[in-house]
Amino acid sequence: MTMLRATIVAAAAAAVFAAPVGAQTFPDHPIKLVVAYPPGGPNDTVTRVTTQGLGAALGQNVFIENVPGAGGRIGARDVARATPDGYTLLAGGTNINAIAPALYKTIDFDPVRDFAPVAALSSDSTALVINPSVPATTLAELVRYGKEHLGKLNAGSTLGIAPHLLIALVRVRTGIDMTFVPYKGAAPAIADVVAGQIQVAASGKAVLLPLIKAGKLRAIAVASAERWPELPEAPTLRESGIDGFPTAVWDGLAAPAKTPPAIIAKINAAENARLRSPEIQAAVAKLGFQVRPLSPQQFGTELADQVRLWSAVARETGVKLDE
């Protein structure tokens, strides 16, 4: 046996025998779950709903800590640098682990290699919405209004995430006169479009649907494969003449790379059991997003596909961010 092969075999054997021990003792103190965006936004909402009872299932408290800023990169960086022992997790997914690599020129962690997929929480879709004072009900009417009223449309979202790219793609494909206003989180952007401080916004279904139903916002187009069942009158982005935009935004749990597989498996099993529970299913149904319990490997495959899809959108829009 060569030295290299012996080293590989020894490492594999060590992992096999060490992992169950870690899983048996994990967790013996509280687990921190970092949400890298402000309270009230899609990522925060989805995380809080879908992880209800996770701590009880694991036998330890799981507390959520919001660490917003830099399009989610501050919180993500903190988790990437944390000890890989399962006690620090990230509410990650599409925005942090798939879109960030395509947008930022410089980044002080690797959104893909520095994390281990743990469990999918949900898939959501994005929509373009306007304040009802804007005289438009379709994307074509909004584009016409923007071209006839130069400088009158301001569109806002969190910088560097799916809604930002949706707004950018609409601008590139239609040539609409619309100024982009960056926000630190979805909640303040949505608050401003409801108040009429900006006229256009984009965000996830879980956040937008109640406001649309209440008449506080008007949906122009939904970026999903099919029309939202709860909003059948709103056309899809493709029906509105813009194809190629990803139809799903994933949220899930990620751990620092090199977290023991047995610990990841234990968290995954506990979270998937929660996602299958009637109370979580009922809460999720009220928000209108989808849950799909996946293995860590399946979730990793979904994220890899997301990297490819969002990289294509980033290239077309030309969006690049320095910080």
pLDDT of residue 21: 52
pLDDT at 131 over 60: yes
Domains, in order of start, for the chain:
3-124+249-317 (3.40.190.150), 126-223 (3.40.190.10)
Read off the DSSP letter of residue 40.
T
When pLDDT is cut at 50, 70 and 90, the band that residue 22 belongs to is: low
pLDDT band at 323 (very low <50, low <70, confident <90, very high): low
Nearest residue to 126 via CA among 65, 72, 35, 190: 190
> Is residue 73 classed exposed, middle or buried when 0-12, 13-18 and 19+ CB atoms within 10 A define those classes?
buried
Could you read off the pLDDT of 220-231 as tens digits, one per residue?
999 999 999 989
Q: What is d(CA 314, CA 306) in angstroms, rounded to the nearest whole number?
A: 12
Of these ranges, 107-121, 128-142, 284-298, the one predicted with the greatest mean pLDDT is 128-142
Question: What pLDDT was estimated at residue 298?
Answer: 95
For residue 15, name the pLDDT band (cuts at 50, 70, 90): very low
pLDDT at 170: 97
**pLDDT tens digits along 65-100:** 999 887 788 999 999 999 999 999 999 989 888 998
Q: What is the DSSP string of 132-151?
A: TTSS-SSHHHHHHHHHHSTT
User: pLDDT averaged over the chain?
Assistant: 89
For residues 17 and 86, which has the higher predicted lDDT (pLDDT)? 86
The reported pLDDT for the residue numbered 101 is 86
Q: In the predicted model, is pLDDT for residue 5 greater than 50?
A: no
Is residue 76 within 8 A of residue 90, CB to CB? The reply is: yes
pLDDT of residue 13: 37
Of 3-7, 98-102, 131-135, 299-303, highest mean pLDDT: 131-135
Q: In the predicted model, is pLDDT for residue 7 greater than 80?
A: no
Please tell me the least confidently modeled range out of 86-90, 99-103, 173-177, 289-293: 289-293
Report the alpha-carbon distance of residue 16 to residue 6 in Å, rounded.
15
Mode of pairing for the β-strands spanning 154-158 and 200-204: parallel
Q: Give the least confident one: 10-19, 104-113, 173-182, 287-296.
A: 10-19
- How many other C-beta atoms are found inside a 10 Å radius of the C-beta of residue 86? 24
pTM confidence score: 0.81
Provide the pLDDT confidence category of residue 6 given band limits of 50, 70 and 90. Answer: very low
Cα separation, 288 vs 207, whole angstroms: 9
Surface-to-core class of residue 2, CB atoms within 10 Å of its CB (0-12 exposed, 13-18 middle, 19+ buried): exposed
